[in-house]
Amino acid sequence: MTKGPRDKQISIDDVVGELKDGMTIGIGGWGPRRKPMALVRAILRSDLKDLTIVSWGGADVGLLARAGKIRKLVYAFVSLDSVPLEPNFQKARQEGTIPELVELDEGMFQTGLRAAAQRLPFLPMRAGLGSDVLVNQPWIKTVTSPYADGEELVAVPALHLDVALVHLNRADQHGNATYLGPDPFFDDLFCMAADRAYVSVEQVVDTAGLTVDTPVQRLLLSRMMVSGVVEAPNGAHFTTCTPDYERDEKFQRAYAAAASGSDEDWAAFSARFLEGDEASYQAAVAAFKEEQA
């Protein structure tokens, strides 16, 4: 009997069970686009604390900040696009509730992930020179080119992750995964920068199904980069997961209104949507959708 690669399907709770206090967790996607929100929601419900979060941030960062889960945040921006300023992140910054912050240029962020993915301590880059990124992060050093030009460049430090969490459209049970929307974002880099990577997907299909009507170039993740696969339909809600669904703008507006409202407003939103498991979240979202229709 021949053996195939192992089945890596696990549950949302299994993923959270693998996480520990104080871990460095990279969250894939970009701003309010294709974020592994089901996994983020599970972290909100857990007792995890003192996390270092590495993210081109959207509501993932806002929610984790509001829940007091973040000890250190590495980011280049936090935005919901159609709501430019993320209210929970704003509140956390203005009240000083995130103890440690590393604000990078958004290209530096990619370079840092790439350095970690290539197991290098740093990679050189121009971005950051002359800006307050280097003033506010004095631990980020420059490096002088050993060649004739002698240019002094930023030595962008590797953003090594304990765990990467990403959400794609389809995967097989082994962890090969495709994105079907317009932009891969940097989910492959997140996975390669991490010791372990967990991918949630809209749908788990058999391996042949991944390329049956999809060009092979859309296979962003290889199973060798992936430790666990979670089937989580609507698991990126309320961020975009094109072409499965676009951003839920009505829900995002309700989120932003609650986040920028009173403590009671936020408590009501949280009680309605965030305190149950993923199935109750999806049920509450369905009820919200019906109300708004």
Partner 1 sequence: MSSATETVTLADVCAAAIADSFKDDGEIFASPMGLLPMLGVRLAKLTSNPDLVISDGESLFLAGVPPLFAKGDVVEGWIPFRKVFDVVAYGKRHVMMGATQVDKHGNQNISAIGDWAQPKRQLLGSRGAPGNTVNNRTSYWVPKHSGRVFVERVDIVSGVGPKLAKEAGPAAARYNDIHRIVSNLGVFDVKGADDSVRLLSVHPGVTVDEVREATGFELDVPADVPTTREPTTEELVLIREMLDPKGLRFKEVPHDG
Binding site for partner 1 (CB under 8 A): 30, 57, 75-79, 84-85, 89-90, 93-96, 103-108, 110, 125-133, 135-136, 151-153, 182-186
CB atoms inside a 10 Å sphere around CB 141: 12
In angstroms, what is the minimal distance from the CB of 142 to partner 1? 8
Task: Classify burial at 107, counting beta carbons within 10 Å of its beta carbon; exposed 0-12, middle 13-18, buried 19 or more.
Answer: middle
Structure tokens at 29: 């996607």
Rank residues 71 and 93 by Cβ distance to partner 1 and give the closer one: 93
Cβ 166 to partner 1, closest distance in Å?
Answer: 14
CA dihedral 53, 16, 207, 212 (to 10 degrees): -60
Determine the 3-state secondary structure of 198 from DSSP: strand
Q: Is there a cis peptide before residue 243, judged by omega within 30 degrees of 0?
A: yes
Residue closer to partner 1 (CB basis): 188 or 231: 188
- Specify the 3-state DSSP secondary structure of 225: helix
Residue 169 burial class via C-beta count within 10 angstroms: exposed 0-12, middle 13-18, buried 19 and up? buried
Inter-residue contact 62 to 259 (CB < 8 Å): yes
Closest CA to 180 of 189, 171, 172: 171
Tell me how far, at minimum, the Cβ of 209 lies from partner 1, in Å: 24
In the complex, least distance from residue 243 CB atom to partner 1, rounded to whole angstroms: 13
Measured between alpha carbons, how far is 141 from 32 in angstroms, rounded to an integer? 31
Q: Which is nearer to partner 1, 106 or 195 (CB)?
A: 106
Name which of 132 and 290 has its Cβ closer to partner 1: 132
Least distance from C-beta 235 to partner 1, angstroms? 21
Residue closer to partner 1, measured from CB, 75 or 198: 75
Q: Closest CB to partner 1 among 110 and 176? A: 110
Min dist. Cβ of residue 229 to partner 1 (A): 23
- Which ranges of 184-277 would DSSP assign to H, the alpha helix? 187-192, 249-260, 263-269
Comparison of 85 and 224: residue with beta carbon closer to partner 1: 85
Task: Tell me the closest approach of the beta carbon of residue 185 to partner 1, in angstroms.
Answer: 6
Do 217 and 59 touch, CB atoms closer than 8 A? no
Rg of the chain on CA atoms, in Å: 19
Shortest reach from residue 1's CB to partner 1, in Å: 42
Q: How far apart are CA 136 and CA 133, in angstroms?
A: 5
Instruction: Give the residue with the Cβ less far from partner 1, 89 or 281.
Output: 89
